[in-house]
Structure 1
């Protein structure tokens, strides 16, 4: 259990550095893709009080075991795939499946119905190819409401989708009219639309 707790703490440190506040720790990220060398990240983490014993294998384990596959390592460089709040990472537009999912909660639903799906403090709206992956995010803050996004109509309206890897797709905004509630995957069929 201690190893899981340490891994969770290390994952949160990595998220803060790679997704939200790299400058606070002195981490320098590439402005185009938000990456840095694994070695540079390791040095910064090792400089933190209580983290001098972290090894590259620990970082690699966090990347490999992340339930949401937040990070990726490629050619000695590491980056967060999505979820950035500090700068806008550029992605190449892609063609997603006809339906993508977004997990949210019952309290957020009225705001989404009024304003559409918007990034709320992040750079992009996160969507998923599967309900399982979307439910991980949506159920964290209350009763799960699963939304389906019609990407065919969205693309016809000029909305771009970007593939971030491991089932995750991103968009800058999705109007409510292109969403529907998936009653089968939501915690309650009593959601009013």
Structure 2
């Protein structure tokens, strides 16, 4: 089992390889789902002196332990589920749950409530089925605000949602009329209050 420091560093390095600059490491990702053979990722890791002793089990451990569920292994292939900055990876369009959540901060929330959720520097807006993942995503941006998105209503109005797996949903944008403040940071995790 990887110690905490090594696990964190390997997870970040795998993110760089699979989400941001695969070509820098000689990886060619499938244009449809963004995957590559796990053996190719392992080979690319082995070319880095620091990671020459990593095995497939270590990669699998990172996939399993990642709280944000960034990675997925299917058969002999691995991919980053979301967050790509190199190419826009395709996902299957799907009917979303009634409500999805988005973590942001108190500075950005007023703008989102006026202009809607936009992908900004990313390829998609990231949403989640539960508060935990939204809180994880939003905490690193400042004082946390959780926004609720009326996804089912938005879908009926023509917004296309894509399922990235493990409770993560994506959209190109979500108009402001479908977004509202659900919880502030101090309230998240203390109860499942009725949305205001």
Common fold, TM-score beyond 0.5?
A: yes
Stretches of structure 1 that go unaligned for 5 or more consecutive residues are: none
**Alpha-carbon distance in 2 for matches of 1:92, 1:145:** 28
Aligned-residue offset at 1:23:
1.1
Aligned structure 1 segments of 4 or more residues deviating by more than 3 angstroms? none
Structure 2 residue aligned with 1:100 = 100
Stretches of structure 2 that go unaligned for 5 or more consecutive residues are: 188-196
In the alignment of these two chains, the number of paired residues is: 186
**Alpha-carbon distance in 2 for matches of 1:143, 1:125:** 19
**Alpha-carbon distance in 2 for matches of 1:35, 1:169:** 18
Structure 1 residue aligned with 2:19 = 19
Q: Secondary structure at the match of 1:73?
A: strand
Deviations 1:87-121 (A, max 9, x none): 11111111111000001011222332343111121
Q: Secondary structure at the match of 2:118?
A: coil
> Is 2:164 aligned against 1:164?
yes
Q: Secondary structure at the match of 2:174?
A: coil
Q: Secondary structure at the match of 1:50?
A: helix
Structure 2 residue aligned with 1:186 = 184
Report the RMSD for the aligned CA atoms in angstroms. 1.3
**Alpha-carbon distance in 2 for matches of 1:173, 1:46:** 39
